[in-house]
């Protein structure tokens, strides 16, 4: 089966607040499988359900995996929430939904999360460094927040302009009015 498509900025569905999962159904299990397939294929170290256009509170993360060693040890988190955060940690972040851009983002260095697994078992996870960053990044997606919301306005506007131009070129549209229209909408 074909992989599901990852939504890309400025798709409005990335801005929705996702709903809690009341019951893990077969559909949710299938969604988790699709998310893992997409994450490993891209490759990325995490993915949130809204990036596939499903506004549900489900994320998958595997920070240790590399294409070379191929060992997969994914965490699948249902309704994750951060219950404690401390310290600060900066990482040059990228996102499968924000093409061709990376920027340093300051986040908590250590986090404690609560979630459930796909069998409904409660999980409590402590993470630090890159893994903590990854959880914070993915959980942001569940609230419609992208990492570009956490950088300076200047850097964000430079990216938005670049992205607007890129999309215009992809559509083969003329230069004129499209720029200002999109700029206003996104700004
Ligand atoms: Zn992301």
Does residue 98 carry a pLDDT above 50?
Answer: yes
| Distance between Cα 93 and ligand 1 center (Å) | 9
| Residue 1 maps to a domain | no
In the chain, the number of structural domains is: 2
Average pLDDT over residues 1-21: 95
Three-state DSSP class for 113?
A: strand
Q: How confident is the model at residue 1 (pLDDT cuts 50, 70, 90)?
A: low
Question: What is the per-residue pLDDT for 183?
Answer: 39
| Residue 128 maps to a domain | yes
- Which member of 27, 81, 131, 138 is catalytic? 138
93: β partners = 103
132 and 187 part of one domain: no
132 and 162 part of one domain: no
Question: What is the per-residue pLDDT for 176?
Answer: 53
* CA distances from residue 147 to 28, 89, 95, 104, 132 in whole angstroms, order as listed: 26, 14, 8, 9, 14
The Cα 144–Cα 135 span in angstroms is 14
134 and 158 part of one domain: no
104 and 129 part of one domain: yes
Question: What is the per-residue pLDDT for 126?
Answer: 97
The Cα 87–Cα 35 span in angstroms is 30
Closest CA relative to residue 93, chosen from 82, 104, 109: 104
Backbone angles phi, psi at 84, to 5 degrees: -155, 140
| Distance between Cα 177 and ligand 1 center (Å) | 30
| Averaged pLDDT score across all residues of the chain | 92
145 and 171 part of one domain: no
pTM of the predicted structure, to 2 decimals: 0.90
26 and 87 part of one domain: yes
Mark whether 138 is an active-site residue.
Answer: yes
170 and 102 part of one domain: no
| Distance between Cα 153 and ligand 1 center (Å) | 19
Question: What is the per-residue pLDDT for 55?
Answer: 98
- Domain containing 164 equals 152-187
| Residue 5 maps to a domain | no
């Amino acid at each position: 089966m074909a992989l599901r498509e990852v939504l890309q900025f400025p798709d409005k569905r990335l801005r929705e607040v996702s709903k809690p999962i009341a019951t893990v159904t077969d559909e949710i299990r299938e969604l988790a499988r699709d998310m893992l397939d997409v994450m490993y294929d891209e490759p990325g170290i995490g993915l949130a359900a809204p990036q596939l256009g499903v506004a549900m509170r489900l994320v998958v993360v595997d920070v240790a995996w590399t294409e070379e060693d191929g060992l997969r040890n994914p965490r699948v988190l249902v309704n994750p929430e951060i219950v404690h955060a401390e310290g600060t940690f900066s990482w040059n972040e990228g996102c499968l939904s924000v093409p061709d851009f990376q920027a340093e983002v300051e986040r908590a260095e250590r986090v404690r999360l609560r979630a459930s697994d796909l069998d409904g078992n409660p999980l409590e996870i402590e993470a630090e460094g890159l893994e903590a960053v990854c959880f914070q990044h993915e959980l942001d997606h569940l609230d419609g927040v992208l990492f570009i919301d956490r950088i300076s306005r200047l850097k964000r506007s430079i990216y938005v302009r670049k992205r607007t131009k890129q999309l215009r070129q992809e559509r083969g549209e003329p230069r004129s009015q499209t720029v200002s229209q999109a700029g206003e909408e996104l700004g």
